[in-house]
Structure 1
Amino acid sequence: MGISAQDVKSLREQTGAGMMDCKKALQETEGNVDAAIDFLKKEGLAKAVKKGGRIAAEGLIFSKVSGNEAILLELNCETDFVGKNEDFLKLGALLADTVLANKPASAEEALTLSLDGKTVQDVINANIAVIGEKLSLRRFDIITAKDGGNITLYSHSGGRIAVLVEISGADVADDVAKDIAMHIAAMAPNYLDQSEVPQDVLDKEKAFQMEQLKDSGKPQEILEKIMIGKLSKFAGEMSLLQQVFVKDSGGKQKVGAYLKEANKDAKLTQFSRFAVGEGIEKKKEDFAAEVSKMAQ
């Protein structure tokens, strides 16, 4: 019997297996979808669907600088053990190379890229079948150097955190660029300069601070003056150039001042920082419930 493209698409959505594998399964089972699913499971090609509901919050940040371009890419798995697996490491490096070369607009688009005659999603699914855990390409960031700047890469804790930072305008010593990248890894700034902090973020903080001071008895005009200082400090703590440099023993020198001290013509142009699993709610294991379940 003929196998329609819609049948193949439907089976792929149910199993996560590759298009050609789904077509073959339907041909082998004469179009019987349930039998095709069983066929794929026996072949180890439908493991992805079994693991689709699991939380993959471990993994690594794969990073690369190539000329005036660089990438950070987060590939997740379920356990830190798999994060050290050779197949996982090869897959992550391959995905970083592929995404950097093709520059898709999103992680979803990246999954549709062609890789060795298959889609990136198919390649990931094949690795799920081999490795035995849910794997997911969560996100990536590609930066391109501006005005002839130099991009420095810093990877911390074996790839659990990775940073890209561009310094332009003048050359600085490698250790200065690395120190700033290490600072970004440690202090996780949200913005380059405090002028970039969105007004709605400042308004929310102001409302919070005003609520804290509402019973202080101070006049409104005094509270407004107090807010100027509090909001400036709040914005500065989130912004790279205004953060206190983490390696300054005196605890006063700002990152911007540290860079100017190294070279007055140097300028921090942009940065990117990824940490594995940030923003993902990890599953909390209930050991007692697990033991009880096993005893039933």
Structure 2
Amino acid sequence: MANYTAADIKALRESTGAGMMDVKKALDEADGDTAKATDLLRVKGLKGVTKREGRSATNGLVRAQVDGGVGTLVEVNCETDFVAKGPNFGELADRVLAQAVAVQAADAEALLASELDGKTVKEVLDDANATIGEKIEVRRVARVEGDQVVSYLHKTMPDLPPQIGVLVATTGGDEQVARDIAMHVAAFSPSVLQRDEIDAETVESERRIAEETAREEGKPEQALPRIIEGRVNGYFKENVLLDQPFAKDNKKTVAKVAEEAGAQVTGFARFKVGV
């Protein structure tokens, strides 16, 4: 029987993020030698990297950093919540975020191709993939610039790392109103800042659906223009940040709240892990 204890298994799981059975097999093969077992996990893991490419990485976390008027947000994914809340995965995400800030990455492709400690970030992730035994990927990166940028990270479960991350850029106003708007973005998930960012084809499609629905409902012909406009405006209120009723006071829009605070929202980004 291999010379190791339950404490050794626990320590190796925590240091590598690998699964229970993989850790036990590695310790068996290494006759209880933790260093050798760690190497075995990595070697076996590297062989499985390609096989894991098709697997779904829908867990993970978001990280954000703001330096003056520049905010960076990254989403790093894994397969299970066990790995997502482990210290190794968190440290990897911190390295990824620091690299994104350093190279001023605005998308995942640029970040993955950049060099970190003599390897590309993609190679660093493959190494982590090998050791942990799960698919690890950077799904998204956002870079938001403005006179003032704030970040907000939200935990959807108390025992997991943040799953929703937001950056909001504003001019004027104070940090508190910007932070309140960032919390609103986290809760109401707008897709764009203002109406003109929604393409005309989408708006026309919503208008057509509103008209067809109203006619199916038997609404009077003379009322159709008003009903159609009301429903299209409802679509805007769901998707356009500045048109949304504000979370803390739904009698005012986000635009109105910002205006009353002497602020203007100039940009935002929102990530929710796996969505």
State the TM-score bracket (shorter-chain normalisation). 0.7 to 0.9
RMSD of the TM alignment (CA)? 2.1
Secondary structure at the counterpart of residue 253 of structure 1: strand
Secondary structure at the counterpart of residue 258 of structure 2: helix
* Pairing 1:1-296 to 2, within 5 Å after superposition: 42=43, 44-104=45-105, 106-145=107-146, 149-157=147-155, 158-168=161-171, 170-172=172-174, 174-215=175-216, 216=218, 218-219=220-221, 222-248=223-249, 251-263=250-262, 266-278=263-275
In the TM superposition, residue 112 of structure 1 has moved relative to its aligned partner by 1.9
Question: Aligned residues, how many?
Answer: 230
Structure 1 pair 255–273 and aligned structure 2 pair: CA distance change class (3 A)? same
**Structure 2: which 5+ residue stretches go unaligned?**
1-39, 156-160
Query: TM-score w.r.t. structure 1 length?
Result: 0.72
CA separation in 1, counterparts of 2:219 and 2:270?
43
In the TM superposition, residue 166 of structure 1 has moved relative to its aligned partner by 0.9
Provide, for residues 65-109 of structure 1, a one-character-per-residue CA deviation record: whole Å limited to 9, x for no partner. 122211111110001111111111111111111122213464233
CA separation in 2, counterparts of 1:177 and 1:85?
31
The percentage of aligned residue pairs carrying the same residue is 36
Assess if the C-alpha contact under 8 Å between 1:197 and 1:235 holds in 2: no
Secondary structure at the counterpart of residue 155 of structure 1: strand
In the TM superposition, residue 240 of structure 1 has moved relative to its aligned partner by 1.2
Bigger Rg over Cα: 1
Secondary structure at the counterpart of residue 101 of structure 2: helix
In the TM superposition, residue 239 of structure 1 has moved relative to its aligned partner by 1.2
Residue type at the aligned position of 1:270: G
Residue type at the aligned position of 2:241: L
CA separation in 1, counterparts of 2:165 and 2:268?
11
CA separation in 1, counterparts of 2:66 and 2:81?
25
CA separation in 1, counterparts of 2:105 and 2:253?
36
In the TM superposition, residue 41 of structure 1 has moved relative to its aligned partner by 8.1
Larger relative strand fraction? 2
Residue type at the aligned position of 1:160: Q
CA separation in 2, counterparts of 1:217 and 1:108?
50
Structure 1 pair 95–42 and aligned structure 2 pair: CA distance change class (3 A)? closer
